[in-house]
Amino acid sequence: MKRSTWLLAHRGWSAKYPENTLLAMTKAMELAVDGLEFDVQLTKDGVPIVIHDSTVDRTTDGTGRVDRLTFAQIRLLNAAKRFKDRPDVGWQSIPTLQEVLNDAHRLCPNGFFNIEVKVYNDNWRELVDTAVSVAAKHPVGNRVVFSSFYHPAMAYLKAKHPHAEIGLLFENRPEKPWKTALDMKAYSANLDYRYATPDLIAACHDYGLRVSLWTVDDPAAIKESIRYGADIVISNTPDIAKKARNAIYDLFRNSLSE
């Protein structure tokens, strides 16, 4: 078992607050988690914003594809439409990448930040270059890793920006994820926790890779992930994740004192 598994809040504290908003990010960082995982896309006019879906339909009171709306249009949308009965949530805008990093620097300057590059069209090179440029100029830029399920985007990123760190996202049960990750000089293999085994994690470690597990909300699964040796656990429920990690570490410390 690793004694220093990092906990990242998935899209902020998304189980309790509107995902990928500054409110969700702030509330997660106030819990003193180790960092954040969030998504980035470009608007029609090339502004990097933090949103997961290819459209604004699910998470806001608007409709339309992100890449067909200008930043000014997107800024008018309420990203807390599903929380209309929560007065403590109020109206939330879709934030820019710059805004999220600014809050991260203010509240969690030593944290770790996983930025997932969402590829829904053929402008992913522009997206990669823009996101890397924003992060590189930021005080927390050296605490950022970029990840994506679309591995060609990560290959391009690493080739053009060799000092940036990348994580390769894998779906289902991958065959030898360490081979692909090593070929692309990745920082981490980001695995679906349901398919992660102690042997798979150990094999990644043997090749010098970190292992990030997503998206783990059940307390028992969080504890299991830590026991298996995961370097990073990504959770929608950072409050539950912290309690589960503390319970594991308390047991570990007690066993050492016996």
CATH number of the domain encompassing residue 180: 3.20.20.190
Q: Is the pLDDT of residue 43 over 80?
A: yes
Is residue 1 assigned to a domain? no
Number of structural domains the chain divides into: 1
pTM: 0.96
Stretch 216-221: mean pLDDT, rounded? 98
Res 258: pLDDT: 60
Domain for residue 201, yes or no?
Answer: yes
- Domain span at 187: 6-257
- pLDDT number for residue 183: 97
* pLDDT computed for residue 201 by the predictor: 97
* pLDDT(71) > 90: yes
146-193 tens-digit pLDDT? 999 999 999 999 999 999 999 999 999 999 999 999 999 999 999 999
Query: Has 10 been annotated as catalytic?
Result: yes
Contacts by 188-194, CB closer than 8 A, 24 or more apart: 188/145, 188/147, 188/212, 188/231, 188/232, 190/114, 190/147, 190/214, 193/221, 193/225, 193/230, 193/233
Is-catalytic flag, 52? yes
State the average pLDDT for the chain: 96
